[in-house]
Chains A and B, each alone.
Chain A
Amino acid sequence: MIWRFGLFDSTFEPLLPTHWALLVALGLPLLLGVLAALFPPKRAWPVVLASVPVLASGLMLLSAYDQAGLLRWHWDIAGVQLSLRLNGLSVLLLLMTQVIGVAAAIYTPGYLRLSETGPLARWLWPLMGVVLSALSLIWLATDLLTLYAGLELMGLAAVGMLMLSGKVAALVAGMRYLLLALMGSLTYLLGVALILGHWGQLDLQGLAEVVEPGPVAWFAAALIGAGLALKAALFPLHAWLTPVHENAWTPVSALHAALVIKASLFILLQLWSILLPDTFYAPRVIAWLGLLAIVWGGLLAWRTDSLKTLVASSTVGQLGYLMVAFPLLLGPDIAPLTRALAWEGFWLQLMGHAFAKAAMFMAAGNLILATGESTLKGLAGTSRRLPLSLLVFGIASITLMGLPPSSGFTAKWLLLQAMVLSQQWWAVAALLIGTLLTAAYIFRLFRYCFDETAPRHRYQPLAPGMDLIALTLALIAFALGLLAHFPLELMHGGSP
């Protein structure tokens, strides 16, 4: 597991252009965010222009990885060791972050213009910049200090973004999220304290060599796990997620559900693969909770009357699939083939869900903005007037349901193969139940939309491109299944 995360020595040193690309990828979103706060863009085209260098830096890092394999950076600042690594997985996650971040940014000017957002709107830009920069840092960082700093910056900026709508319900939900996230960060810090006290270092590569199973590793893993599970909204700790999304602005919800909660999950898997490489029970507990998450999230989404709650609850269920894959990745006596399949399935599911969920939130936001209604019943008759938004919603749901040939299907197929190979039949059952429940709540939504007897309303026209951006994201989620060999190759690259 360790080498899969790129925690080994690199063969080549990064070249000068790669240093620059790294700097741009980490710093430019923040800088652009501050600039946009000073001069808020009114149209989409300045955002499109500004996002070109960001995406270019991601592509340059990709080509640098293609040529040289794993790359590492080390700094020693006044006795504090900081280190970054660039392997296939982090390039992939970085590109995903940039694409979704850019899409959300391009979507934003139109959204802000059409909805009454108030004077706080310009703060959205710097906060978005902080979230994207911190996320990029998290995918690359390999020491616990940088990971902690990135995680906290991202979390605080995310809280700030979610409350910008300024409604009382949003503020109350945001305050609750803030307090819980801060508690989660203290729990994580206690775990890190144990690690630092016992092994005397925070560098992941160094830790991977010295960590041995024992009470310290278990305590640290439990504390870190609890803190990160709270931040990632893993099943019994998910209750803050839905109210927070209920009142947030659409691009904020898209970024949060697609990327922010995934970062905590990424750190959790990475740290547990160092601290608990051969533990039997801990990954299984996560998986059982994941089973419950799939059922509970699906039921919540099925029973709700609010469109945003439906999309947010479905996140709880979809995270369950990732949790169910834990015992296929961590634990004693896992066959190499099973582990490889589960590894591919896990990250493909994570990426497919990120793109599909971002698209789905944007489509939901478009529907709510156009109809002025946020309940499912209010969507009656939208099939005639807003076919494009519904089409986006449909393509995104194909990925969430896991119908072929979307990335959801490929990911679930890989996970299913791994489960069958390791004979974990209950996990197979969880996967099937989840698919059925997802279909149930998606078709419940469409039943309302295709109600032809509804009276005609006046719909607010959307800004140009708002549907197209959502459509692009949904199509990327779809195409990741057809062109899966490219990400899968990257995920496995760099083996020693």
Chain B
Amino acid sequence: MTATFDAIESFDAIEVLLALFLTASALVCLFDRHLVRACYFFVAFTAAMTAAWWQLGAPWLAAVELVLGVGLTGPCFFYALGHVLPGASSPLERDKFSEPWSRVAMRVLLALAWFVMVGAAIRYVVADMAYAPSEHPLLVAGVVIAATALGAFALHRHLLRRLLAFNLLGSAVFILLAGVAGTSATAQALISVGLLVAWLGSMLGALLIRQLLHLEGVEALGRDGRTEEGAT
């Protein structure tokens, strides 16, 4: 117990708050059925990520995250929702697809397995991390978000929510990358390329979702990659 308290005492208060806020906004973003609200929380999440990069001593990454994450990836989702102007209503406001319990249970197990695997890998395989999880709560948040986002990616059938889950998983992986490899120039370059890819992917996905909505309506977004005959 005392060891745990010592560990908690060694945390930086700002970092603890950031980690808590990141985890909370990620959870809302992943599981809120109100899609517009989920997207607002995604923007809040990327803004917090900017602060997190600053906190981890990577000002360049903070700038890249601000431009690519907050400035470019966030609007992609609002465009996909058709919610470009504030106050406009969207045909896509809520996700109405329901999942059977067996599917949910399987996905929870998957997320837990992934959580244990990543945790074990970080704890035992990479002994010499640049930022140890025992000192940096942001890394713990990264592992938690990575596991939940993977679970959500596997669980959801709504294409927009899967795209959101991918983006959150990406951010968590970037935090883990920075934790394992530090914030050297190489790691920052790698993460910047990753952010660029996430933006391009989200943009492509948003264009696709708009087109699908235009052609087929809301139901087309839940078919999990199958055409109409395959799903029924």
Contacts and interface: CB of A to CB of B under 8 A. Distances in A.
A172 B170 CA distance: 22
A193 B180 contact: yes
B226 A172 contact: yes
Interface stretch (B9-17, B82-90, B200-208): B200-208
A442 to B, nearest CB: 27
Contacts of A145: 186, 189-190, 193
Contact of A197 (B153, B180, B224): B180
Interface string B170-200: 1001001100111011110110011001101
A70 to B, nearest CB: 24
A193 B220 contact: no
Contacts of A193: 173, 176-177, 180-181, 187, 190
B193 A152 contact: yes
B196 to A, nearest CB: 8
B162 interface: yes
A198 B179 CA distance: 12
Main secondary structure of the interface of A (DSSP, over half): helix
Interface string B78-112: 00000000000000000000000000000000000
A405 B207 CA distance: 47
A52 interface: no
A216 interface: yes
Most chain A CB within 10 A, of B153, B194, B216, is at B194
A163 B185 CA distance: 36
B159 A175 contact: yes
Contacts of B153: 179, 183
Interface of B: 121, 124-126, 128-130, 153, 159, 162-163, 166, 169-170, 173, 176-177, 180-182, 184-187, 189-190, 193-194, 197-198, 200-201, 204-205, 208-209, 211-212, 215-216, 220, 223-227
A168 B201 contact: no
B144 to A, nearest CB: 16
Contacts of A284: none
Interface in A139-171: 144-145, 148-149, 152, 156, 159-160, 163, 166, 168-169, 171
Contacts of B170: 182, 186
B212 A172 contact: yes
Nearest to B130: A197
Interface stretch (A16-24, A76-84, A228-236, A268-276): A76-84
Interface in A94-126: none
B225 A173 contact: yes
B216 A156 contact: no
Nearest to B117: A219
21 contacts: A79-B184, A80-B189, A171-B215, A175-B205, A176-B224, A176-B225, A179-B205, A179-B225, A186-B169, A186-B170, A186-B173, A190-B177, A192-B190, A193-B187, A196-B180, A197-B129, A215-B124, A215-B125, A216-B126, A219-B125, A240-B225
A408 interface: no
Nearest to A246: B227
Nearest to A120: B211
B186 A196 contact: yes
Contacts of B163: 179
A178 interface: yes
A185 interface: yes
Given A174-B208, A186-B166, A193-B180, 13 more contacts: A81-B186, A152-B193, A156-B204, A171-B212, A172-B223, A179-B159, A189-B173, A192-B190, A193-B181, A196-B180, A197-B126, A215-B124, A243-B227
A80 B180 contact: no
A159 to B, nearest CB: 6
A202 interface: yes
Interface residues of A, number: 44
Contacts of B128: 197-198
A440 interface: no
A190 B125 contact: no
Interface of A: 78-81, 144-145, 148-149, 152, 156, 159-160, 163, 166, 168-169, 171-176, 178-179, 182-183, 185-186, 189-190, 192-194, 196-198, 200-202, 215-216, 219, 240, 243
A179 B193 contact: no
Nearest to B198: A182
A145 to B, nearest CB: 6
Q: Considering the complex of A and B, which 5 residue pairs feature the smallest CB-CB distances, nearest first?
A: A176-B225, A79-B185, A197-B180, A193-B177, A196-B181
Contacts of B190: 144-145, 148, 189, 192-193, 196, 202
Contacts of B166: 179, 182-183, 186
Contact of A189 (B124, B129, B177, B220): B177
A145 B121 CA distance: 22
B185 A80 contact: yes
B212 A168 contact: yes
B76 to A, nearest CB: 13
B84 to A, nearest CB: 21
Contact of A166 (B121, B169, B173, B211): B211
A197 B187 CA distance: 9
Contacts of B204: 156, 159-160, 178
Contact of A171 (B126, B208, B224): B208
A163 B208 contact: yes
A179 B162 CA distance: 8
A240 B204 CA distance: 17
B186 A202 contact: yes
A57 B224 CA distance: 44
Nearest to B60: A78
B151 to A, nearest CB: 13
Contacts of A156: 197, 200-201, 204
Contacts of B176: 190, 193
Contacts of A190: 173, 176-177
B212 A175 contact: yes
A78 B225 contact: no
Contact of A182 (B126, B201, B225): B201
A159 B186 CA distance: 28
A178 B176 CA distance: 23
A201 to B, nearest CB: 8
Nearest to B208: A175
Nearest to A223: B121
B201 A178 contact: yes
Nearest to A180: B225
